[in-house]
Chain A
């Protein structure tokens, strides 16, 4: 018996390969699937209860996964490709080890900027590797030159924040407090980071425990066979989905990120999609070269596959449980040295705009030939507002908030006003912000008429008004202030976002979409207005009762109801059906047939009118330089391990 145990401990790391062939019945498979889902929600619950930073606990900017022994996601909310991380780790990873990193370049883009702190943990049962849990969460601050660590003017990753290469935060269950001390000495609110980090570890441990419970219940071989069968099931489902919805003839789509924070833009992203046999091809040739500014998005191919899969599933069959099983069906090509695969050490911190934009272009390209599944554009950005300084007690504060915009009109319904594109995110209550930071929130409302008109209306953007009570600095991260959120199938483009500062003396200053070090003083007010989302279908066909309801609810103005929906209302908002019929016919004859995409005026015209329309200077055309690739540092094998081995010997 003891001998057998010893043997088990020496079992090869890749347990899946050594698994006995176990035949798995469909019911056990479904039971395991349910158990995995439960485990994943337990991970979230543990994190929310114990984390401290508002971005994680109030806004839920965190992403858990449970993976198989190869690092492939079995269940999760966003996924990451763990294999890239553990396969390049210089030391063996054993039971009780916890890997920690925040460096996109050292984990193949599993995470994509330094604010995301990633924990990865092997799960062992009876000495055998049975899987991994992992979770990352956005830290309020991770050091570097500006509070919240997203400098808009950085030109390399060295200028952004503290880089943490993958290392063992815990080795055999023992905390590496030396390394942790060095890290925490480099961030502005060390206790907050420490708590969030420990909360991530606690959540991963919860997930790991559930997987061990499953191995005990079903036997390790059955559990592992079940997970492989689940992957196969998703593979089969996606195979038929891909052959149904992706045409063989190439479809391309392109869109822009407005600027890079350094005054250059817009930058183009392009994708071409086609199918050959069972396999779908996604080619990003035509995407602009990398930017000198921090908007580059180092996109992991596996992650992108997951985005694609989620998109197909949500538009076509939300019942499919999502896992990594279908990856062999998708082939990705991203040219090196571009915005989506920049050479090290390109700056990455403000990648959020491109991260969002690629969802828009994916949606556009995937559904170009199946317009009934299209939605309007909605991934304007993930708008950030950061406010830091010293409060009346002389205490440092650093407020960080992720805002929302309009949700796109969908084939079956309007888009929501002022909701999150990110799953399960929530806003920060005004009362919470006012309790903890020297500010008042004077308004939180959606912006009338900002959603694109359509048979289904695009969601309105948000206006949040911050009244500052202490001297400090503000940073802003946003996009779609220049180009438009497009509408589809006859639906209209939406209103763009804008930001302005109403100084205490009453003067107005327009604020750029990506900037740091905006000085504010007590009594100054920041008006942060985000973009609406695109509409779906011809607005002239929208039922008059729905237009009337929007007007009564003050979500659409009577003027827009008349001009874009062709609906005539009296002072009490009663519809004049006769006048409406006439007006609609009139507008239709002048306008001609509805356009498949409404992107707004041509780019040249947008740039020409920029100053007059937005109050801001237009960005200069990007200058692309020859970039030299700097080698990425590779961690050396741990000395402590060697010393330990020697001592044991």
Chain B
């Protein structure tokens, strides 16, 4: 066991974190990202970090990489050409989707529906049928489907998806078609819906499986390129990829099921934030990752909450999302960030933020790259939250352009430029709180019992204000947001889930049947871990059942111990009643139904130790780099500016204060204080606390 390297490729910077497993030492590096070919920036970073650690590149044993290449393919509509095989009668499964149009009433008038990821022209029907219990109703017409696959291959389809009705109950026909496809078109990668999502609801399963095929060429190309670049640079390290659920997997596994990478980016942030929060002694945290165009929030208790549906917005439409049902860190994404544009519709004269965004180009007006629309970042500049020098002096912000942009909004609603800027910040904060409330209160948690980890480019600017509205203390601001993700990469464990639909009420099945089925899944999980090189005691298998009242719409995951379960269902049923009561304040007198069974395979990796510095004196004046006027609630306050690199453990920074570092800025409000802990995090509390 030697060196592990975490790599996070962001829009601006590539962050690397090298970890020596024996000594627990870590080294960091930061290089500019190279969007045209990300591996260039990655290699530059590797050289830098190896130099700092004084090791040669071939000393690195494993590299862990969080990637957004799959997500970007979806957002930009640049995935591969997918062929889809459905059961006869269902060729329009993606075209019709669930038939939903947006609210409110007459929302259909403004809906724009993007074309499906598998075109109707590239969709064919198989003559076959299973019933919902997995019994064959009609045999597969093999000659017919063979000819159709031939046709798809000739038309230039790059990736094939097979998604048949009721395959969740029996995948035999899907597998047979896959075998035929291997004969007819051996080079065509095939995704069977059963392998990706063996659960009922045909549209969601098909959409998820098709998306897997859609991003497959992009992910495959990207990972191969990276692997070969690493090899030619004489690296011997094994490349692992961070999954959406915060676990690790090999490149081969990622190529097979790239749909598991869709939330790879956010999961690195959450994993890293949790790692830090646990170190600080706050296992119960909400994470708040605010970037340029969107913001991710999540709620976690000790470990990352895992959700099983991800809503991905597509490039073509803001009011249509794809419900992708794979396990991922349970983040809620809202389309508001530093680049969101403020505007005032003529009829209402209301101040609205987003959904339009200035993006990276032209970006906010203050970037001086031609943008004139007022963004959240411009409002932060106008109020002095963001001093004119950013990025360690490399980039200057144009205050005049920011003011001119925000003034357009102020004029429209009759407020001066500062009040308008303040308004933009307040409204965007309110949207953020809405998202935080949905992950906390809606799930029966009181946000006051949770700390808040603020990161991302804009998170530390807004974190203090959110903490105040939500009553969530402390607000933890870890150093360098990119490093946080890289830290998440190296601190993650191997993880994979194996789930199948079961759908029996407890009076219609026996504990023996459930244990048999779930043990089968456990074996799969163990085999997967073995194939990833994790054996023996490093393997941990956890079991869950998704349970609900008969015919209820959504399930609650309940942890299961197979040995105890053999003695009877009542502990499982009682735990379900208790959980339901806590979340929804009522129980029902109907049968309890097991819907899905799940085995989660976890491969332990060596725990990271963070360097800990002893706390010194509280006075931070050695870190003061200047002073600056900042607008808070109607008045300008003289505000000290601190250099984060010079802050050391034990320092207490009194608000109002601004703390600068290379790629983010922390704002501490008046009547609040920032305490620097042993790991160099800033913990913001109300002054009296």
Residues of A in contact with B (beta carbons under 8 Å apart): 25-27, 29-31, 33-35, 37-38, 41-42, 45-46, 48-54, 57-58, 77-78, 191-192, 194-195, 198-199, 202, 205-206, 209-210, 217, 233-234, 236-237, 240-241, 307, 310-311, 314-315, 317-322, 359, 375, 378, 404, 407-408, 410, 413, 415-427, 429-432, 434-436, 440-446, 462, 465, 552-555
Contacts and interface: CB of A to CB of B under 8 A. Distances in A.
B101 A42 contact: no
Interface residues of B, number: 77
B434 interface: yes
Given A37-B434, A241-B347, A431 B202 contact: yes
A57 B553 contact: yes
Contacts of B93: 444
A54 B89 CA distance: 23
Contacts of B88: 443
B95 A315 contact: no
Contacts of B352: 30, 319
B350 interface: yes
Contacts of A378: 108
Nearest to A413: B112
A49 B103 contact: no
A53 B553 CA distance: 8
B427 A27 contact: yes
B349 to A, nearest CB: 7
Task: Say what secondary structure dominates the interface of chain B.
Answer: loop
B585 to A, nearest CB: 6
Interface string B547-569: 00111111000000000000000
Contacts of B588: 52, 191, 194-195, 198
B201 interface: yes
Interface stretch (B175-183, B220-228, B285-293, B415-423): B415-423
A51 B588 CA distance: 11
| Minimum-distance CB pairs A-B, first 9 | A57-B553, A443-B89, A38-B434, A27-B423, A423-B103, A426-B98, A237-B347, A434-B132, A319-B345
Contact of B89 (A429, A434, A445): A445
B121 interface: yes
Contact of B96 (A26, A320, A423, A462): A462
A553 B120 contact: yes
Given A310-B104, A322-B104, A404 B120 contact: no
A426 to B, nearest CB: 4
A27 B345 contact: no
Given A35-B430, A38-B438, A424-B102, A429 B345 contact: no
A321 B348 CA distance: 8
A429 B584 contact: no
Nearest to A51: B553
B101 A195 contact: no
A442 B88 CA distance: 8
Q: Could you say which of B90, B137, B348 has the most chain A C-beta atoms within 10 Å of its C-beta?
A: B348
B100 interface: yes
A411 to B, nearest CB: 9
B348 A237 contact: yes
A180 to B, nearest CB: 13
Given A37-B434, A314-B109, A404-B99, 14 more contacts: A30-B430, A34-B431, A41-B438, A50-B552, A52-B550, A320-B347, A407-B101, A410-B109, A421-B108, A424-B101, A430-B90, A440-B137, A446-B96, A465-B89
A420 B100 contact: yes
A444 B92 contact: yes
B536 interface: no
A182 B121 CA distance: 56
A423 B102 contact: yes
A240 B553 contact: no
B590 interface: yes
Contacts of A205: 585
Contacts of A236: 347-349
B166 interface: yes
Given A416-B101, A420-B99, A31 B427 contact: yes
Contacts of B442: 42, 45-46, 206
B589 A49 contact: no
B604 interface: no
Contact of B348 (A25, A233, A423): A233
Given A420-B100, A432-B201, A307 B105 contact: yes
Contacts of B129: 440
Interface in B568-590: 583-586, 588-590
Contact of A429 (B203, B413, B549): B203
B312 interface: no
A426 B99 contact: yes
Contacts of A446: 92, 95-96
B200 interface: yes
Interface in B374-424: 413-415, 419, 422-423
B469 interface: yes
B120 A431 contact: no
A311 B431 CA distance: 26
B187 interface: no
A599 B516 CA distance: 62
B503 interface: yes
Contacts of A310: 104-106
Nearest to B343: A319
Contact of A52 (B106, B346, B552): B552
Nearest to B205: A431
Interface in B75-125: 88-93, 95-96, 98-113, 119-121
20 contacts: A26-B414, A30-B351, A31-B427, A51-B552, A233-B350, A236-B349, A237-B348, A315-B109, A319-B345, A407-B111, A410-B109, A419-B108, A420-B99, A423-B105, A430-B165, A431-B166, A434-B132, A441-B89, A444-B92, A446-B96
Contact of A195 (B90, B104, B202, B549): B549
B685 interface: no
B553 A45 contact: no
B120 A554 contact: yes
A444 B89 contact: yes
Contacts of A217: 469
A348 to B, nearest CB: 20
Nearest to A203: B584
B540 interface: no
A404 B88 CA distance: 21
Nearest to B589: A191
B41 to A, nearest CB: 38
Interface string B344-384: 01111111100000000000000000000000000000000
Contacts of B345: 317, 319-320
A425 B90 contact: no
B380 to A, nearest CB: 16
A435 B165 CA distance: 12
Given A41-B438, A416-B111, A77 B103 contact: yes
A434 B501 CA distance: 14
A234 B96 contact: no
B473 interface: no
B437 interface: yes
Given A194-B588, A419-B100, A54 B551 contact: yes
Interface in B264-312: none
B330 to A, nearest CB: 14
B52 interface: no
Nearest to A244: B347
A419 B101 contact: yes
Given A429-B200, A431-B200, A314 B92 contact: no
A49 B552 CA distance: 8
A434 B261 CA distance: 32
Given A31-B427, A420-B99, A444-B89, A48 B553 contact: yes
B604 to A, nearest CB: 33
B592 to A, nearest CB: 12
B131 A46 contact: no
A280 to B, nearest CB: 16
Given A78-B104, A425-B100, A434-B132, A552 B430 contact: no
